Structure 1
Amino acid sequence: GLSWITILRKRDNFRKAFKNFDVRKVARFGKADVARLMRDAGIIRNRLKIEAAITNARRFLDVQKEYGSFDRYVWRFTGNRTVRNPNGLTRKTIRATSPESDALSKDLKQRGFKFVGSTICYAHMQATGMVDDHVLGCFKYRQRGK
């Protein structure tokens, strides 16, 4: 995989290339858009990942239609609650996956999503508050349980 810092440094380029991340617009991308993206030096030009982003946008819309929102779909994997991992976590003891992220990854793959392994699913769960892995010393750690 790619490092997050590499992606973050190219974030503005990705935003422009992928129409401000408008999922409906990306879902309509075709061969000409793939060719355009493959020529765009400002993004990572990996055909499989570009095509996966388009496929995932289409599957995302399918999930929205089925569940009413993608949010409603993903929160089912944590029982509609934030999973608070044990107190005393350190950067060395934070896990990269969980049974919940394993289940989410498996389900997404069955629905046709690409590049959605358990690690990226767990990172999504952390970023969206589905999992609370704040470590000792983090300013958010003191706010746990409030």
Structure 2
Amino acid sequence: MAAERTNVSNDLIWQIVRNQNAYLVRRNTGGGSQFSRDPLNLVNKHSFKYAGFVNNKAIGVQAAENGGVNVITKKPGNPQQPRQTEVTVNYGPKTSTRKIYKGVAAKTAVNGYRADIREEAVARVSAVRRSQKPKKDTPARQPRSVKARRAAEKDE
């Protein structure tokens, strides 16, 4: 028996699952904000535009364990098998950030593949790469006034 293919619109799916789904995170602080833990959500904002599990075309950017970046895209065909629709491209820790930007921009530009979220995808890559850089050791600040310096020297 052949598997039937149903054509359900993304808008209908969103209307059904927008108030309850596994990725939804509600916070009472900040006026009852709603966030998303969806790996295909670039800005972690609970909205139809960024919900990767609802849209046929989605892109996600995550940090890899080795210090690199994983870019996950979703193929528009065959939504009944979601695991087979995901394509992951791994960029290593030595890959230049510009090369990753170019790869993400190229992914979103192919045949009109979600060009509306290109900026967010590149911004997410930038944030991931910035978080992977080692923190600089900042020296302890010296008190600015002479009186405060003398007091600090006496305490030591």
Fold shared, TM-score > 0.5 on shorter chain: no
The structure where strand makes up a greater share of residues is: 2
TM-score (norm 1): 0.37
The structure with more radius of gyration: 2
